[in-house]
Amino acid sequence: MLELIEPSPPGSTVTHFPTRPRLLVVDDEPLILEGLSRLLATRDYEVETAGGGCEALIAIGRQQYDVILLDLGMPDLSGTEVLRFVTERSVDTQVIVVSGDSTIDAAIRALRGGAADFVRKPYEPEELLRRVDNTLTRRRLERENNAILQRLQQSEKWHRFLVNSSPDFIYTLDSEGHFTFVNDRAESLLGYRREELLGQHYSLVIHEDDVSRAEHIFNERRASDRNARNIEIRLKCNPGMRRPRLMNGRCRTVELTATGMYDEAAGPFEGRFIGSYGVAKDVTDRKQAEETVHFQAYHDLLTGLPNRALFRDHLGLMLAQARRNQQPLAVLSLDLDHFKVINDSLGHTIGDELLLAVGTRLRQCLREGDTLARLGGDEFAVLLPTLVSRGDVEHICRKIIQVLSKPAYVKGHEIYISVSIGACVAPDDGELVDSLIRQAEIAMYQAKSDGRSRLQFWEPGMQAPYSERMQLEADLRRALVRNEFVLFYQPQVDAVSGEVRGFEALLRWWHPQRGLLSPAEFIPVAEESGVIVPIGDWVLRQAAAQMVEWQKAGLPAVRLSVNISARQLESPDFVDSVMRALHAHGLDGRLMELEITESLLMRDFEANAIKLGRLSAAGVRLAIDDFGTGYSSFKYLSRFPIHSLKIDQSFVQDLEREENLSIVNAMVAMGRGMNLTVIAEGVETAAQRARLQQMQCHEMQGYYFSAPLAAHAATALLGQQTGGTADAQRIAG
Ligand code: C2E
Ligand code: MG
Ligand code: MG
């Protein structure tokens, strides 16, 4: 910052010179010279004398004098000549003419000629001294003013330099919003010369879509800390600018900070609004980089079409909308037939061109609101958000198949292609994003194996083709090595107190390409291929490790339930693998609960009874999962060392139905009668919770209390247990 300039208080008559004021007395009359010198010597002045005009000039050339007392009538060189010399050469001094010529004319001439004052001879000594003193004071003030002026000019130059060489666009507006100042950056940023902008309304440079936002910022009246800061806005460049390419586009994105300006003369509180000033930082390049990164994350770079991630996003949004409007939507999976052959025989460049051409043709068959995405390779997907019937899907697909069957011409090659399409419709075929995409894909594989170039709707029971399962299986095996599995924990809370009694460990898979997968998407394949055994082993060990971590952290001891699959239970190593997990971490078996479905228990009744008996002896608890969906035979169940019954969510979710109400009632009553802990699964609403409480169900689990939580969130929830109940801290869905 530049220092402030503080002049000494005006009106002070004391003269301050760095040294004593230096005076020159000029007169050809020796007596007068002598008398004046003596008079002046009574003051603290340094006095020198000159006996004529020439001598005076020599002295002035050698020395600087603050005041010269000058006689006019001198024989060698008149005082008038000396005065002219002083004025014309801008000698830094003040001249008081002391003359015997008492006419008013002489005085006027002297003053016009540049004298500071005029004193008549004979002079009154006091009067002369006063005049000298006044002249000295005036000289001092003038010098000080000059110094201030110079510093102000310097400071002004500095500020102008700083403002103009700023990389930011700086402006001021009057109270009506017209530019009153813009810095040099206006030209390189917006392509307007300063004169073109001054006097113009700011709206000239605002992008059409940002007008209302701009109004708010450009009319900024606040001058406090609450003023508009770093507001992002687009500025329009001069449409007629000469070097548009240098400007890198027709509009710039800036971050604007604006402040109101007030006329301070009116006082700090009643200041009159006189306009605003602002600083706009050009962030166009950063924005473009961000947009590019964002685009690349959500688009296929070859065709510029949305990729799988964006397609999933759109589908999620459209599903919610379709649910609100109670309108069906369709997901199509399209795969080119024999694309690999074309790619391998004609090369990737032609393959890429062909994919581009296919993208264009597909787009032509769709309406504006439909989403077309490239999921990878030669696989495309389409989302038809507004449908009337399956007939609509058939109609569009017929068109697609027909349009694509026309030959494509790429670099002199005539290429024939066809497409196989799989389709599924929400909500009929489900309402989950990933399952819908999967189902459409499965249907598409079916279309391929049924002869290609056709449409196939998904039907329940349709299986993913063998090769695809092989892929999933290979991915699953690698997933263990690459540590791609995680456990989520869903609290099971006490029906009365709302306290967390336990957690169910639920498996998730961070698939490197497909994102977070739920067990429904991979457990069946894992089960079929047997990979579930090592995975299940990992789940047991991971769960035990988590329990021990909680114990070490001094958190309340709660139960942890782990789901057991058929293959796992049937494995001869099953009991040992549970015991190993417990021992590895030194965990008390009573804190571990195994969730097994009834149908699974019944599969190999005798063997299971022995295995579970051994585990029970080690304290491990047993829960019947999805209770009510299988045999529900208490007679058989009583042969197993069971601790808990988990009432399947299908009953809980439809508690309004009288029939379900009585079934659940009976299940709770029987469970209680057998001294089992009864846990209701899938509790989503307060009404369901109230019903279940009335029935004296022990514990509940479901989105009403909390969705499955990542480990850190489950830890936090347990940590709060002492401070409150899970009920009180319900985490919505
Ligand atoms: P499950 O054992 O019946 O687990 C309960 C399922 O219901 C979980 O689905 C859970 O997220 C979901 N759920 C919880 N609260 C609600 C609710 O209020 N409403 C609704 N609609 N659903 C709710 P998730 O995690 O997708 O697991 C699905 C199934 O996958 C599990 O059903 C279980 O059979 C199996 N599974 C999960 N983890 C493992 C595992 O580590 N090993 C094995 N073998 N199977 C597992
Ligand atoms: Mg379970
Ligand atoms: Mg269950």
Look-up: residue for tokens 């009403």?
A: 704
Query: Cα–Cα–Cα angle for 380, 383, 384, nearest 5°?
Result: 135
Map tokens 């700083």 to a residue.
162
Q: Where are the alpha helices (DSSP H) in 103-210?
A: 104-112, 125-164, 185-190, 194-197
Local confidence band at 263 (pLDDT 50, 70, 90 cut-offs): confident
* Burial of residue 221 (number of CB atoms within 10 Å: 0-12, 13-18, 19+): middle
Spacing of C-alpha 75 from chain mean position: 89
> Residue 354 is inside which H or E element, if any?
helix 348-365
Nearest of 393, 481, 405 to residue 440 by alpha carbon: 393
Local confidence band at 729 (pLDDT 50, 70, 90 cut-offs): very low
Higher pLDDT, 619 or 243: 619
Dump pLDDT digits (tens) for 411-462: 888 999 999 999 999 999 999 999 999 999 999 999 988 888 899 999 988 8
517 CB within 6 A, ligand 1: no
Q: Which ligand lies nearest the alpha carbon of 647?
A: 3
Q: Residue 595: CB within 6 Å of ligand 1?
A: yes
- The string of DSSP codes covering 436-451 is HHHHHHHHHHHHHHTT
Ranges of beta strands (E only) in 468-591 are: 485-494, 500-511, 515-517, 559-563
Give the mean pLDDT of 245-272.
73
pLDDT band at 474 (very low <50, low <70, confident <90, very high): confident
491 pocket-lining for ligand 1 (C-beta < 6 Å) = no
Report the pLDDT value the prediction gives residue 499, as an integer from 0 to 100. 93
Average pLDDT over the chain, rounded to whole? 88
Cβ atoms within 10 Å, residue 326: 7
What are 677-701's pLDDT values in tens digits?
999 999 999 999 999 999 999 999 9
CA distance 382 to 711: 36
Domain range summary for the chain, segments of one domain joined by +: 22-148, 166-290, 299-458, 479-732
Q: For residue 628, give the ligand nearest its CA.
A: 3
What's residue 6's pLDDT? 39
Separation of alpha carbons 317 and 328, rounded Å: 13
Output DSSP code: residue 166: -
The amino acid present at 132, given as its one-letter code, is V
pLDDT category at 578 given cuts 50, 70, 90 is very high
Q: In 3D, which of 140, 60, 129 has the Cα closest to residue 96?
A: 129
> First-to-last CA distance in the chain?
56
What's the gap in Å between 617 CA and the centre of ligand 2?
A: 22
Say how far apart CA 21 and CA 32 lie, in whole Å. 21
Residue 563 bridge partners (DSSP)? 595
Do 431 and 323 contact (CB within 8 A), yes or no?
A: yes
Fold of domain 299-458: Alpha-Beta Plaits (3.30.70)
Q: Are 172 and 180 in contact (CB under 8 A)?
A: yes
Q: Which of 563, 599, 652, 685 maximizes ligand 1 atoms within 8 Å of its Cβ, making it the mutation to test the pocket?
A: 563
CA 518 to chain centre: 29
Q: Which residues pair with 276 in a beta bridge?
A: 173, 260
SS3 assignment, position 66: coil
Which pTM was predicted?
Answer: 0.47
Q: What is the number of the ligand 1 atom nearest to the C-alpha of 733?
A: 18
* Cβ(519) – ligand 1 distance below 6 Å: yes
CB atoms within 10 A of CB 606: 8
Could you tell me the pLDDT band of residue 293, with boundaries at 50, 70 and 90?
A: confident
Q: Give me the architecture of the 479-732 domain, per CATH.
A: Alpha-Beta Barrel (3.20)
Q: Is 625 in the pocket of ligand 1 (CB under 6 A)?
A: yes
Q: Return the pLDDT at 219.
A: 74
- What does the alpha-carbon distance between residue 651 and residue 628 come to, in Å, rounded to a whole number? 8
| Options 3.20.20.120, 3.40.1190.20, 3.10.20.30, 3.40.50.2300; CATH of 22-148 | 3.40.50.2300
CATH superfamily, with its number, for domain 166-290: PAS domain (3.30.450.20)
381 pLDDT above the threshold of 60: yes
Cα(520) to centroid(ligand 1), Å: 8
Residue whose C-alpha is closest to residue 706's, from 725, 690, 719 = 725
Q: In 1-124, which ranges are continuous DSSP H helix?
A: 30-41, 53-62, 79-88, 104-112
Ligand 1 contact via 359 beta carbon (within 6 Å): no
Which pLDDT belongs to residue 134?
95
What's the 671 CA to ligand 2 centre distance in angstroms?
Answer: 17
The three-state secondary structure class of 220 is coil
